[in-house]
Amino acid sequence: MNYFAAIDQGTTSSRFIVFNENGNVVDQHQEEFKQYLPNQYSVEHNPEEIWNSVENCINEVLTRVDINDIKSVGITNQRETTIAWSKSTGKPFYNALVWQDTRTQDICDEIIKNNKLKSEFKKTGLPIATYFSLSKIIWLMKNVSDIKKALENNDVIFGTVDSWLIYKLNGTLQTDVTNASRTLLFDLESLTWNENILNEYNIPKDSLPNIKPSLGNFGNCENILKNVPITAVLGDQQASLFGQQCFSRGSVKNTYGTGCFALTNTGNDIIYSKNGLLTTVAYKYGDQKASYAIEGSVAIAGAAVQWLRDNLNLINTSDEIESIALQEKDNGGVYFVPAFSGLFSPHWDPTARGILVGLSRYSNKKHIARAVLESVAYQSYELLNSMEKDIDQNFTEVKVDGGMVVNNLLMQFQADIFDKNVISKELQEITAYGAGIASYIVINDIKIEELEINQKISKSWTPNINTEKRNNYLDNWTKAVEKSKNWI
């Protein structure tokens, strides 16, 4: 057998999936891990628990799949989440600071005031925000005494989750261009660490991993998955873009997970957004030129459903939300803005807060459930609307993936609000598939454009409301967003 595999390390769980040469799932295992929420600003993971969850998933699958049949493995991961560990012992100094963590807002405010680096930060393609790794690294350097000592002895590595996993798999210190491009420390043009930014904030260059192409040789695994080569590493949203085979300029996908992430391929052109979006690396294959993307990021999508379940107890399971929302024909004038961590793209307002507006005596939990689902569609609309302006192109269809795609009510409402066709693939594990198929391409020396594995379309949704109704929904959403920005 010739199989290829993927480690898919996400914000709330890890998975290991094995695919055959037709792109079908042979076997998989998933394991959740603990979320640490020490206060209203902080979101942490234990790096060893992340690794243990990955290790457990691999071991479980290997009870049913012969390791000798696995010819390559790709890694995809939650991005921006930052880990500091010792070069000499391999032990983490502190919990991982997760991409959702906002404790570093004061640090970001100070960085914004530093006008002399304005042109350098532009080269990163990112706004200065708590979302990215730079402020997390600065916070760790300032607040963790063991890291301060380790820096004096050149004994610290600051890495994103992909680097941590590679290190645990074979002991090397590597990252890829997609993950590096999410740190606020990376130059999109030179594809190197920006030394002017590093020097300004006293971050030693050798405390960061070596940057490699996304599709290439990261070495063989040395312990678990022994001798299987790691031949692809992609941040989760870039892996989804790759898995959706958005290889041509202007092709777009949207992923509905904990957050919501839309990317459109801009080819070899770096397009700096003028409409509140991010510029990032889509992927790089060996010595070929990098492909870039424009990205819109929403912090809270599926997480809003979890909040409805765990914090308000209005639903018993996440799956229940659709059947409850369907019991009302519309939202009853209720709108929900899930700005729990402020608003990301295209607003970039860290002071915004979640609000529920339009309530009356008529309102009930069914309206609230519907408003929570609809908030995902409205936020995604804002992303695609900004993208169309940036690339001066109108999309006719949007490829979708992620856990929320099974929600038919949401997907139909999304098509209505987008006023575009929405298409999902039969394979649900698109992100893992993207990393796996990238590793398959490398190990078999295939040109990306000649890839012959195509995933079947599972379902599509077409717009089904009139322009007046659609505009009314969007106008009310815009008013709700403004209230979330001015909640006090």
pLDDT of residue 297: 85
Split into its structural domains, the chain has a count of: 1
pLDDT of residue 238: 95
Q: What is the CA radius of gyration of the chain?
A: 22
What confidence tier does 277 reach under pLDDT thresholds 50, 70, 90?
very high
pLDDT of residue 314: 86
Instruction: Report the Cα–Cα distance between both ends of the chain, in Å, rounded.
Output: 62
pLDDT of residue 428: 78
Range of the domain at 94: 3-235
The answer to the question of residue 260 being in a domain is: no
pLDDT at 456 over 80: no
User: What does the alpha-carbon distance between residue 467 and residue 417 come to, in Å, rounded to a whole number?
Assistant: 9
**CA quadruple 222, 226, 232, 236: dihedral sign:** negative
pLDDT at 342 over 90: no
Report pLDDT digits (tens) over 307-319.
889 898 888 888 8
Report pLDDT digits (tens) over 262-272.
999 999 999 99
Report pLDDT digits (tens) over 65-95.
999 999 999 999 999 999 999 999 999 999 9
Identify how many contiguous H helices and E strands the chain contains and give both numbers. 15, 22
User: What does the alpha-carbon distance between residue 259 and residue 380 come to, in Å, rounded to a whole number?
Assistant: 10
The answer to the question of residue 364 being in a domain is: no
- Residues forming beta bridges with residue 121, ordered by sequence position: none
User: What does the alpha-carbon distance between residue 443 and residue 450 come to, in Å, rounded to a whole number?
Assistant: 14
C-alpha of 324 from chain center: 28
The answer to the question of residue 117 being in a domain is: yes
β-bridge pairing 421-425 and 397-401: parallel
Of 45 and 351, more confident:
45
- Residues forming beta bridges with residue 74, ordered by sequence position: 6, 232
pLDDT of residue 265: 94
User: What does the alpha-carbon distance between residue 81 and residue 175 come to, in Å, rounded to a whole number?
Assistant: 13
pLDDT of residue 447: 87
pLDDT of residue 296: 92
Residue type at 488 in one-letter notation: I
Report pLDDT digits (tens) over 194-249.
999 999 999 999 999 999 999 999 999 998 999 999 999 999 999 999 998 899 88
Residue type at 454 in one-letter notation: N
The answer to the question of residue 462 being in a domain is: no
What confidence tier does 284 reach under pLDDT thresholds 50, 70, 90?
very high
Contact 92, 84 (CB under 8 A): yes
- 364-369: list long-range contacts, CB under 8 Å, 24+ apart: 364/328, 364/332, 365/314, 365/324, 366/324, 366/325, 366/327, 366/328, 367/328, 367/331, 367/332, 367/333, 367/334, 368/308, 368/314, 368/334, 368/336, 369/308, 369/314, 369/315, 369/321, 369/324, 369/325
User: What does the alpha-carbon distance between residue 73 and residue 226 come to, in Å, rounded to a whole number?
Assistant: 11
pLDDT of residue 318: 85
57 in helix, strand or coil?
Answer: helix
Q: Closest Cα to residue 374, out of 259, 461, 477, 296? A: 477
pLDDT of residue 193: 98
Q: For residue 390, with 0-12 CB atoms within 10 Å meaning exposed, 13-18 middle and 19 or more buried, which class applies? A: buried
pLDDT at 453 over 80: no
Instruction: Count the neighbouring beta carbons within 10 Å of the beta carbon of residue 425.
Output: 21
Host H or E run for residue 298: strand 291-298
pLDDT of residue 463: 94
pLDDT of residue 52: 96
User: What does the alpha-carbon distance between residue 386 and residue 384 come to, in Å, rounded to a whole number?
Assistant: 5
Instruction: Count the neighbouring beta carbons within 10 Å of the beta carbon of residue 362.
Output: 9
The answer to the question of residue 23 being in a domain is: yes
Q: Is the pTM of this model over 0.85?
A: yes
CATH number at residue 16: 3.30.420.40
C-alpha of 45 from chain center: 16
Report pLDDT digits (tens) over 399-431.
998 888 889 999 999 999 999 999 998 887 889
pLDDT of residue 355: 93
pLDDT at 457 over 80: no
Q: Closest Cα to residue 50, out of 61, 70, 35? A: 35
Q: What is the mean pLDDT of residues 26-47?
A: 92
